[in-house]
Structure 1
Amino acid sequence: MGETPRRDRRWRWAALLGATALAVTAGGALACPAGAAGTNAAGTNVDFGTHCIPPAVAGIPPIDGTTTASVSVDNTSPKVGDTVTVTYTVVTPAASNPTDIALPADIMTPTGKVALGGAQTGSVTVAGPKKNTPVPGKGTFPSFSMTGTFTVTTPGAITLSPGDYNIHTSYILELDTPCTVITPPAPVSETVTATSGTPTNTRAISLSSASGNPGAGVTVSGSNFTPGATVTLAGRSGDTLTADKATATANAQGSFSGTITVNDKTTTGIVAYEGSSWNPDKGAGPAAYVVNDTTPVPDGSQKLTTTVKAGTLSMSQAGDAVALSAVDFGKGGASTGTLKTVTVKDFRGGPAGWSLTGKVTDFTGPGAKIDAGRLSWTPACVTKAGSPSTCKAGSAGAVGGSGATLASTPDSTLTGGEFTVDAGLSLDVPAFTPPGSYSGVLTLTLT
């Protein structure tokens, strides 16, 4: 009567020991999704000493062993601003299953870090799916992979080395086993060479007044110019600069304030730029400006005037929710849909065009996320007949957290009109993303 309960207790503790021993070795049988590795630039396998601390309930001392791992990327020649997908693969874990107890499938979820060095420092957080094959007693643990992304911020050679990792087990108990690199950083497994991307011109100006008499001065305020740069202020008549000019100097924050005297009666706007001549890549404007007609009325005549009031730049949406198509666990792929139609109305009547941009958050779900960089769009834009401006759809490609252009119109002598903007949406869902509902927020900004 007394012997059977003791045997049952020994069995339960042996099973628990087997689960925690698996966590200790940090060598779970997490299989890389079929075909995934083939899309990446393969990194070099490297060996490094690993110190793993098992959960206290296991009653097993820390294990020091050698881990063989590699780091691969989807793009070895990115530009600044690009998002790079990183895959951290543990090829040979530090140890094998030390017990005679067979361990079940799908009990382990790995997370870890990849160390960045060289031109860009920091770390990349990576995670793998809860997916492993059964491990026999005394059996060797198969390899497993974890993925994550980082945004390139600096040009030059960026090195990637495998870093610390953790195994979370969901078998009898929820347990974590952290494994650290004994002598960090581990050897370099992969190197990417980043180049400078096309810089975004964020220079902007505003005027103290939108009109004035001939010879009046107008104050021009600017921001986001090169600190310390000499900035030329100039009047513009349509697409041609006038003879009215002045200069200002940008402060350490890239801001300035200067005054230009405007005499030319044909002036339609004012621009500000760095360098010896107007360059839209290093300038801002035109900001609309009108010179009042103060010509005296001849005797026996009457001067008749009317006013066309400038309106605003606005947008509206046909809805605020888009349901993308479902994808299958284990297959993943494109989850597609269509952006709710956006209507842009430009009734300002000045020389400035507009730009409609969008950026998206990560898609969060049941204990996991899908990176924002996996959402892409194919923009389309239609101009209403009679509009002075013609809109241009943005380029097809990734949206991401840093954003992309959906549609725009150029600066011109006279701009304005009505436009409808649409886009096809596609979210590239990794094959073994945990089942469930994922949502992200796409924010559109009109400037």
Structure 2
Amino acid sequence: MGPTLRRPRRRRWASLLAVTVVAVTAGGALACPAGAAGTNVDYATHCIPPAIAGLPPIDGTTTGNISVDKTSPKVGDTVTVTYTVVTPAASNPTELALPADIMTPTGKVTLSGVQTGDVTVAGPKKNDPVPGKGAFPSFSMTGTFKVTKSGDIKLSPGDYNIHTSYIMELDTPCTVTDPPAPVSQTITATDDTTPVNNRAITLGSASGNPGASVTVKGSGFTPGATVTLAGRAGDKQTGDTATVTAGSDGSFNGALVVNDKTTTAIVAYEGASWTTQKGSPPASYVVNDTTPVPDGSQKLTTTVKAGTLSMSQAGDAVSLSAVEFGKGGASTGSLNKVTVKDFRGGPAGWSLTGKVTDFTGPGAKIDAGKLSWTPACATKAGSLSTCKAGSAGTVGGSGATLASTPDGTLTGGEFTVDAGLSLDVPAFTPPGSYSGVLTLTLT
């Protein structure tokens, strides 16, 4: 028996990207909370001042943000949701100044995608003083929901109410004019109950002449199951098949006669056809071309050489938008575009990850966990693989996935990757320039 086939070793690439944010002076509001922050979104709201104010309804624009404690939960997990009204549409409807800590906000977050419904959220009785006829400050509300389905769950800001307890109890309800509001956060849930597929095969040889029999050993199959051995040409099954029966320990030792010259791999599977749940990963196999050359003819042969996995970026510095001292909030920008070229021609996919250092400035720092991103990626036409963007959320010092492609029978292509960046700057960060280094690693 020959050696076990090994997946081509992935090559590691790293890149450094400097990110800068400038803080300048001004006056105060609350910053968005730390965590996997979403994207700030604007939506029209209809607010009704308390009847005692004698004012007509207020039709304005609210800026909201949804953050979560888990961006990749499992079915059955509880996710904590924080709804931050960054800029309320309503303001203090009276000439009377409101003291600190008399506002209690409540609201809801709307779920869409694979899971629908509303999440009730509530905030603490806490606020900065509000002058007469002054704008209400930013506030946050928190709630939880249980994940019931796997897939993408989208979160949008919903209606909210500002309750004030000063001299008298007053409410200012604000409803989304055209629900649902834009999506601020997306999480991807996985089904923890999905059985792990441990099916695998090894081949007695990696190549052979047409009509040769190759030994196929398998493990991890269902005991007693009928297992089909089959040739593959790319992602299509050829006409070369055989069947074996898995033993009591889920293993088998069989053979497959391979005639099809287009064969690129061999698989084994249970059921009517190969699937990722019931089949083994493809094991590479090549059929030698032994066709004789006719008299008076010449056999022409060419070779396709495997290339490398590489990346390049459009720049090495990003200037994020300035924020005001005392206000803080989201300092935003865009990652320089990254081009990934996978010309290896093997079965391995790739993963592009990133992590960031703390942002250091004049005698202070902004924690790395304050940086979040919203990844995006595009696949060039004709590529064998399809690029998948990572989940929106915190980058931080431990890192997160920016984009990836899966393993397959034959992978490769060109891909463009970028991301929206948002640094949550605390309200009273000392004025000055703050810089951190974002490191991208391709494996």
TM-score by length of 1: 0.44
Higher strand share: 2
Higher helix share: 1
Bigger Rg, which one: 1
